[in-house]
Amino acid sequence: MNTKEAVAKRIIELCRERNLAINALANESGLPPSTVYSMLNEKSQNPGVVSIKKICDGLDISLREFFDSEIFDSLEQEIK
């Protein structure tokens, strides 16, 4: 799994834990739903740290909590 896929998977995981729809997450985060959806699909290959931080703010968690997941433990090498 690459980093972008891991970020998308983590967002979905956190939404499921909180029974939160993607549109609701976007509203809570102050992001357009299209931005969040692009982070979850192939449109965005490099989700920005500012957008991830806004999602964290919307979920009321820190960036440390966002990345503190086994999802990020075994990422494939990004430099090829």
77's CB contacts (< 8 A; 6+ apart) are none
Mean pLDDT along residues 46-58: 94
Q: What is the distance, to the nearest Å, from the Cα of residue 44 to the centroid of all Cα atoms in its chain?
A: 11
pTM: 0.91
Cβ-based neighbour number of residue 4 at 10 Å: 17
Q: What is the dihedral of CA 28, 56, 50, 38, to 10 degrees?
A: -70
Task: Name all domains of the chain by residue range, CATH numbers in brackets.
Answer: 3-69 (1.10.260.40)
pLDDT (tens digit per residue) in 30-42: 999 999 999 999 7
